[in-house]
Homo-oligomer: A and B are copies of this chain.
């Protein structure tokens, strides 16, 4: 063989913006997804796992530019047999950036075989080719449920009820969350009532609405009119509307009443004579009454005009789930945890493929944010259940140690034999520590001869080491000698004590 030039060692690194997940990070997410899937299933939703790779054409939104489609997706061109140096003919493929675009493709492709309405759920990673930042990764999980082919807001109401059930099922109690609903048509009604029909001005008004939390009523009036002197001293140009045009917006922004009825009445006033606005308010009213009939009252679901949702494609109801409890941010300041889920009705997504409008509505739960919230509240991510470690006192008796672990495993106890170099016994105990083992089992030649084993309660041991006096410590009551035949029973006892 010809000598190959030695290449430098590769770097052992995840690509920028990607990360690995270890142990409980993986299993807790799997468990949460399982619980959510269970709720989705009970509501009649069927699982769908579409391929992670789609044609760029089917994904839409991102289309190949001259060189390579690169706006937000990871994309590459297939090699085609007819490729020449000048012309590549292969399809552009890309990793999915969400689970909704693939659903539209799946529904269009399989619509003759699927039931209508089609309720489906999907969970899995999606990829975004964006600049990574702290806590922002280029691969993350989504967990969606959508109903395709149901025009009625009963479908939207159902999804809000399901969202509420999901949150309670994964461990967010009632009172610690709120599902807030709104309707895009109401917003359109407000714009109509204002007499703003220019698309650019409409966008400016929406941007201003988004600032309400920060600048308040006066600020919004200024921004809709001539402009406003910023806190920093900079002057922000206004939208240039007449003062009277601001009234519907202000009425809209301050429409939240003591209950759904009051809010609806305020919204009706805000949209004036707009037909589309009235439709939106009617839909909100219908959703609230359907939810009420199912037992989802104002303690779980509320009409909230401040819910806007970023995505341009929503066409009717929009909703959002917020966690309402307070956490401390990195600077120790109290703040609300915020949104963990959102969704709404998007009636035009399938149309791209079929030419026919297909009504659809759905929700996406941010499982990673939910997990973070539960960890923050100490409701998850506590103890890892480490394995019982059977130490190796005598290398030649590996078969004995393996039969001990086999016995423990057969009894359903997580257990392992130490498989590193057994020479240094201290290393074995250090290993057990690193594994967060609750118990170590020791069987030397002497114990073997006498039919006993030593059992070391490592959790109790750690506690004693921290709290006990030297004398107490010397007594080492955390280590027991027991008959070999009682091993499983004794370890069960210790595990039960610490659980």
Contacts and interface: CB of A to CB of B under 8 A. Distances in A.
The majority secondary structure among interface residues of chain A is: mixed
B58 A11 contact: yes
Contacts of A24: 47
A212 interface: no
A377 to B, nearest CB: 23
B9 A352 contact: yes
A93 B138 CA distance: 13
A411 to B, nearest CB: 10
Interface in A8-24: 9-16, 18-24
Contacts of A115: 431, 434-435
Interface stretch (A147-155, A231-239, A455-463): A147-155
A150 B420 CA distance: 5
Which one of A26, A70, A353 has the highest number of Cβ atoms from chain B below 10 Å of its Cβ? A26
Contacts of A402: 154, 157-158, 290, 293-294
A46 interface: yes
B398 A55 contact: no
Which size class do A's interface residues fall under? Answer: 35 or more
A227 interface: no
Contacts of A27: 37, 41, 47
A136 to B, nearest CB: 14
A199 B154 contact: no
A403 B293 CA distance: 6
A484 to B, nearest CB: 15
Which one of A46, A414, A415 has the highest number of Cβ atoms from chain B below 10 Å of its Cβ? A46
A423 to B, nearest CB: 12
A55 B15 contact: yes
A139 B93 CA distance: 13
A12 B405 CA distance: 53
Which one of A11, A12, A37, A58 has the highest number of Cβ atoms from chain B below 10 Å of its Cβ? A12
B403 A18 contact: no
Contacts of A23: 46-48
A50 interface: yes
Interface stretch (A71-79, A171-179, A254-262): A71-79
A352 B352 CA distance: 48
Interface stretch (A106-114, A240-248, A267-275): A106-114
Contacts of A213: none
Q: Which 4 A-B pairs have the closest CB atoms?
A: A44-B416, A12-B108, A293-B399, A150-B419
Given A9-B352, A13-B105, 20 more contacts: A10-B58, A11-B58, A12-B58, A13-B55, A14-B105, A15-B53, A21-B48, A26-B47, A30-B47, A34-B34, A42-B412, A44-B387, A53-B138, A53-B139, A70-B79, A74-B93, A154-B398, A293-B399, A294-B402, A294-B405
